[in-house]
Structure 1
C-alpha cells in the first residue's frame, strides 16, 4: 500500500514537472514571438522616423541653399554704387527719403510670373492693360469693358472667375490684340503700389531685363531702385534676386549668365511648373520666364488709384 502510494506520488511529480516544462516551452516561444514583433515594430518605427527626418533634412537643405544663393546675389549687388536693392517692408520709406532733385526710378521685379505674363500681353498690343491686387477692382473694371480678358486667380475670400491663369504660355495661346486686359496678381501689383513715390515705375522679369537696362541707361542721373518682390511679396525668392542682379549688371554694361542658377530654380520655386496642375502652371512657363530678350521692351506702370496701367515705354 505504501509502495503504491509512493509510485503514485512519483508519477504525479513527474507529470507536474512535465507540465511545467511544457508550459515553460510555450511561454518561451510566446515571449520570443512577442519580442520579434516588438523588434520589427521598433525597426519599422525607426525607419519611418529616419525617412521623415531625411525628408526634413532635404527640405531644409533646399531652402538653406536658396537662402545662401540669395545672400550671394545681394553681396554681388553691393558693388554697384549707383543702384540700391530694397526690402519689401521699407520700400516706400526709402523712396520717400531720397533726394527730391534726383530722378527716382524703381524697377519692380516679378519674374515668376506676373511681369513675364505682362510682356507677353503687351507684345500683342492690347487695347488697354490694367493690373491690380484685388478681384473686386477687376470686377468693377470688367463691367465697363466689352469682351475683357481676365488674367489671374481670385484671392482668398473672392469668387471671381478668371479666363486664364497668370501664365505667359496661356497668353501666347490667345489673341489679345485689341482687347481690354485685366490682370490680378499679388506680389507684382503690390510692388507697383509700394513704389508710388518714384518718378518712373518700371516692371520687369528676365524677358525684358535687357530692354529695361537699356531704357535706364538713357536717363539722366537716375536714382535706381531694384525691388524684387519674392514669394507673394512676403519672402525673398531666388528668381527675382537673380533678375535684379541681371538688370544691375546690364545697366553697368556688363555681361551676365543665369545658367548656373537654373538647377536651383528648377528644384525651388520653379518646381511648380512641373507639378500635375499644368493648367495653372504649364511647364513651358519655366523656360519662358527665364528667356532673356524675348519679348524685349521696357514696361512702365502708371498708378491710377486702386489699379495701374501697364504700357510699353516709348
Structure 2
C-alpha cells in the first residue's frame, strides 16, 4: 500500500481513498459518540449550518469546539461526552480541523475518519479493501500536528505489519503541542481526562465511514471484520 500523508491545504485533487485523522479531539469525540449510542454524525461545514440543522431537527445534538455556546448542546471533549446518553440520536459536529478535513475529501470513493481509539479497526478495513494508494489527511496544524501524523503512520504501518508496536507513536502524540495545550488548559471546553482518552488505543471495535447522504456528509460506525 502506498501511503501518502498530506495536510488539508495540500489536497489538490480528490484521492480515491482517504483517512482523515484528528486525534485531539474531533474523531476521538466521534468514536465516543458512537460508543454512547449515537446513530450517525453529520459533519457541518460551519457553525451556522450546525445551528440551522439543529433548528430543523430539535432532537439532534449539536457539538462544537471551544467553550459552550448558545444553541449547542455539547463541546468537543471526549471526557465530557462519555457521560451523555446518545442512544439512537443524531449528532451534528463542527470542529476546527477534523470536520474540515473530512469535507475536503467528500467526493472520495472511501472516506474513513480516525484516531487512536479506532486505529486497529481502521487498519483492518483498509486491509480488506486492498487499496493501492491511501491518502492520510493530517488535519491539525496545517498538516504538521504530530499526534495526527503519528496516528496516521501507525495505522498505515498496521495495514502491512500486524506486529507494529504502538508505543513510539503514542509517545509522539503524548508529547505533541495539542496534548500540552489540552493538559495546560490553553484550549477551552476541556475535561482533565481528554488527553488520556485520546490516547486510549483501540478503545472501540469499529471504523468510522463518512459518506454523502443527500447533501450532508454523514459519519457512521462500521464494524471491522
TM-score, length of structure 2 as denominator length: 0.87
Contact 1:117/1:168 (CA < 8 Å) preserved in 2?
yes
Deviations along 1:162-181, one digit per CA (max 9) or x if unpaired, are 22210111110111112221
Task: Select which of 181, 186, 197 maps to 1:272.
Answer: 181
Of the three residues 101, 114, 119, the one matched with 2:31 is: 119
Question: Contact (CA 8 Å) 2:147, 2:176: kept in 1 or not?
Answer: no
The aligned counterpart of 2:148 is 240
Alignment of 1:230 with 2:140, yes or no, is yes
The number of equivalent residue pairs is 221
Say if 1:260 and 1:118 are closer, same or farther in 2 by CA, change over 3 A.
closer
1:11-59 C-alpha deviation (Å, 9 max, x unpaired): xxxxxxxxxxxxxxxxxxxxxxxxxxxxxxxxxxxxxxxxxxxxxxxxx
Deviations 1:77-132 (A, max 9, x none): xxxx522222322314263xxxxxxxx21100000100000000112232432122
User: Would you say 1:82 and 2:2 are equivalent positions?
Assistant: yes
Considering fraction of residues, name the structure with more strand: 2
Change (3 A) 1:267 1:195: closer
Question: Structure 2, unaligned stretches of length 5 or more?
Answer: none
* Structure 1 stretches lacking a partner, 5+ long: 1-80, 96-103
Bigger-Rg structure (1/2): 1
Flag the 1:237–1:169 CA change in 2: closer, same or farther, 3 A: same
Deviation at 1:150, TM superposition (A): 1.6
**Does 2:112 match 1:202?**
yes
Q: Which residue of 2 aligns with 1:167?
A: 77
Instruction: Please tell me whether the aligned partners of residues 153 and 161 of structure 1 are also in contact (alpha carbons under 8 angstroms).
Output: no
Distance 1:115 1:162 in 2: 18
SS class of match (2:100): helix
Q: Is the 8 A contact 1:226 1:244 kept in 2?
A: yes
**Structure 2 residue matching 1:309: 3-state secondary structure:** strand
- Aligned counterparts, 1:71-220, within 5 A: 82-93=2-13, 95=15, 104-153=16-65, 160-220=70-130
Tell me: CA distance 1:230–1:305, structure 2 relative to 1, closer, same or farther (3 Å): farther
Q: Deviations over 1:131-179 (max 9, x none)?
A: 2231111111112224322211479xxx743222101111101111122
Task: Write the distance in 2 (CA, Å) between the matches of 1:196 and 1:263.
Answer: 29
Q: Which has the higher contact order (CA 8 A, sep 6+)?
A: 2
> Matched residues in 1 for 2:214 and 2:144: separation?
27
Could you tell me how far apart the structure 2 residues matched to 1:121 and 1:164 are? 11
Alpha-carbon RMSD across the aligned residues, in angstroms, is 2.5
Divergent runs of 4+, >6 A: none
